[in-house]
A and B are shown apart, each in its own frame.
Chain A
Amino acid sequence: MFDQLHLLILGIILFCVGLYALLGKRNVIKILMGIEIMTIAVNVVFIALGANITNGTFTRFAQIFPLLSIAIGAAVLAVGLAIVINNYRHAKSVDSDEMATLKR
């Protein structure tokens, strides 16, 4: 079995990759992909911290809190993708800078 430290580092790196998409990309579909990667990274960290039989309560909830996170992440993505489609119909663009046209 591998070390918990490596799993936590995997979670941090995946989270940073998602954050890079959020900060550095203008394509809204890429930004939503970044949010999905960040959610998965958080789930990995949850499991890494809870994957210990000797650790009482938290272990029992280790798989349940990520389930909530998945449900909320799914809702966020669905709403985000719906906004992307509606914005594309309105502005013919998936550029986040041009989403300001939604105000008009």
Chain B
Amino acid sequence: MSLAVIYVFMILAILAAIFAIECRRLMFSVIGLIAMNLFVWIMLLTLNALLLAWIQLIVYGGGFTALFVVVVALTEKQRDETFDWKRSIIALAIIAVIMAFSIWAVVSSEGLYTPSGTSTIADSLTLLWSERTMDLILQAVVFFATSIAIGTLFISHKKKKLKEEVEA
């Protein structure tokens, strides 16, 4: 892939992230999030981080985008009417300082190289099974907790109240 195309995708990823945060309509924000995930996916593919690229696309680009859509639909607030100029300006000032310091620190650091690719999917999975078993167990626990949390989204309080009333 041409270098210019990769830089275009980088800029598009940043623009999509800004669009997702700044768009007033929450559904369009979710679309911006999907676009950003797709551009980051392309970034990761160009770095040969295939395992991470696909998992990120499935978990963030797929699963959580669907969850965001469900939440936006359930909350029935399709527009973000809570814009606050004062808060935004203070936040921008703080972030300008943090960004300037971070970029200065990265630019002035030595030993930066040209990325040439990460380990393959098979290598990563072998390493995960052989040396990072505890990580796998922790991830299983985290996913179990996540599934319970997602389950609470769909508990209907009205049905509970009705049951209690019937029992009473």
Chain A residues with CB under 8 Å of chain B are 1-10, 12-21, 23-27, 29-30, 32-34, 36-37, 40, 43-44, 47-48, 50-54, 59-64, 66-68, 70-75, 77-79, 81-82, 84-86, 88-89, 93-95
Q: In the complex, are the beta carbons of B112 and A71 less than 8 A apart?
A: no
The secondary-structure label for the interface of chain B is helix
- How many cross-chain pairs have Cβ atoms below 8 Å apart between A and B? 226
Chain B residues with CB under 8 Å of chain A are 3, 6-7, 10, 13-14, 17-18, 20-21, 26, 29, 33, 36-37, 40, 43-44, 46-49, 51-52, 55-56, 59-60, 63-64, 67-68, 71-72, 74-75, 77, 80, 82, 84, 87-88, 90-92, 94-95, 98-99, 102-103, 106-107, 112-119, 123-124, 127-128, 132, 135, 138-139, 142-143, 145-146, 149-150, 152-153, 157
Q: In the complex, are the beta carbons of A26 and B84 less than 8 A apart?
A: yes
* CA gap between A1 and B116 in the complex, in Å: 7
Q: Which of B47, B112, B145 has the most CB of A within 10 A?
A: B47
Q: In the complex, are the beta carbons of B82 and A53 less than 8 A apart?
A: no
Q: In the complex, are the beta carbons of B94 and A23 less than 8 A apart?
A: yes
In the assembled complex, 21 residue pairs joining A and B whose CB atoms fall closer than 8 Å, in A order, are A7-B47, A15-B102, A17-B14, A23-B94, A24-B84, A24-B90, A25-B80, A25-B82, A29-B26, A29-B68, A37-B36, A51-B47, A66-B56, A67-B51, A73-B60, A74-B146, A78-B67, A78-B146, A81-B149, A85-B74, A88-B75
Q: In the complex, are the beta carbons of B99 and A16 less than 8 A apart?
A: yes
Q: Which of B63, B72, B118 has the most CB of A within 10 A?
A: B118
Known contacts A33-B29, A74-B59; is A82 also within 8 Å of B149 by CB? yes
Q: In the complex, are the beta carbons of A20 and B72 less than 8 A apart?
A: no
The secondary-structure label for the interface of chain A is helix
* CA gap between A15 and B7 in the complex, in Å: 18
Q: Which residue of A lies closest to B157 (CB)?
A: A89
Known contacts A43-B52, A50-B118, A51-B118; is A71 also within 8 Å of B21 by CB? no
Q: In the complex, are the beta carbons of B36 and A2 less than 8 A apart?
A: no
* CA gap between A70 and B80 in the complex, in Å: 27
Q: In the complex, are the beta carbons of A79 and B149 less than 8 A apart?
A: yes
CB distance from A70 to the nearest CB of B (A): 6
- Residues of B contacting A5 in the complex (Cβ-Cβ under 8 angstroms): 106-107, 112
